[in-house]
């Protein structure tokens, strides 16, 4: 009974950085903002309910960023969940500017990264950020300067762990020469596996892999597609099968599906209760291209 009421517990656990154990199915807090990931949500109260419902469902990893809103997502998390329960891991990001709705600009200047991290600490009402992810490596700024800004904050106790986002294996290796990297967040889902080599590298290095856009299913979810057929057999939705596939794919996989609706949150989290048979797994691997 406890498992079905707190389905995220069934997703398994992974210790981020070796010392932050989380249930592997988390929550991405990008969509609780307004249209274009800009401004406040259309339904403020529902956004608060979504965040609080996460805890009820056993989710203890929430992923956000200073650029979501901007600042809106972090403020909502603090409003809904502070004082935070023991064991809740809040991951945030820095390194992107927001000129307007649906617009994103890389900014990896050390002074900007530092200012954004200090702002995130204030908005989230934290003394230390569990996981600070560099949202993008800025090609205009030396990598050592960007990572140096984060390691200095780490030395000051303002950041516990450092992660990266949208990087290649070569970039991870370069940054590993400058800092310990505990997570990588790349685009990855059942229909888009271009980061397969990065995932394999993360698994070998025991680095948490956070797939963004985890619910993209492409033609696999169309009528007669492998996801659609599997979902029908299992009495589930294609999106749930897609999440269950991610959880099965690797023990370092940390999917963070996001939504602004409690009903969708409950539906997504129930994916942790699905067990995929060998035929389903094979059919998804054969037809994803």
Decide if 68 is catalytic.
yes
Token pair, residue 6, equals 């707190």
Longest dimension (CA), the chain: 55
Residues annotated as catalytic are 68
């Amino acid at each position: 009974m406890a498992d079905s009421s707190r389905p995220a517990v069934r997703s398994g656990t992974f210790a981020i950085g070796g010392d932050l154990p989380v249930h592997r199915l988390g929550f991405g807090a990008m969509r609780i903002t307004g249209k274009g990931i800009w401004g406040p949500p259309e339904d403020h109260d529902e956004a608060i309910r979504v965040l609080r419902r996460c805890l009820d469902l056993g989710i203890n990893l929430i992923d956000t960023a200073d650029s979501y809103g901007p600042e809106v997502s972090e403020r909502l998390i603090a409003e809904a969940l502070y004082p935070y329960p023991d064991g809740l891991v809040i991951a945030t990001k820095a390194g992107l500017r927001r000129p307007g709705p649906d617009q994103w600009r890389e900014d990896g200047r050390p002074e900007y990264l530092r200012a954004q991290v200090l702002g995130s600490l204030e908005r989230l009402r934290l003394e230390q950020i569990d996981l600070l992810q560099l949202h993008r490596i800025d090609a205009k700024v030396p990598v050592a300067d960007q990572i140096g800004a984060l390691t200095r904050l780490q030395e000051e106790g303002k950041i516990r762990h450092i992660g990266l986002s949208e990087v290649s294996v070569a970039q991870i290796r370069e940054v590993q020469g400058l800092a310990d990297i505990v997570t990588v967040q790349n685009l990855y889902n059942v229909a888009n596996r271009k980061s397969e080599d990065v995932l394999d590298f993360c698994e070998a290095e025991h680095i948490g892999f956070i797939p963004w856009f985890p619910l993209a299913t492409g033609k696999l979810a169309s009528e007669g597609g492998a996801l659609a057929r599997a979902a029908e057999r299992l009495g589930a939705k294609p999106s749930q099968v897609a999440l269950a596939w991610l959880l099965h794919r690797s023990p370092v996989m940390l999917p963070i599906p996001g939504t602004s609706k409690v009903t969708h949150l409950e539906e997504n989290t129930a994916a942790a209760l699905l067990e995929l048979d060998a035929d389903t797994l094979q059919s998804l691997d054969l037809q994803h291209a």
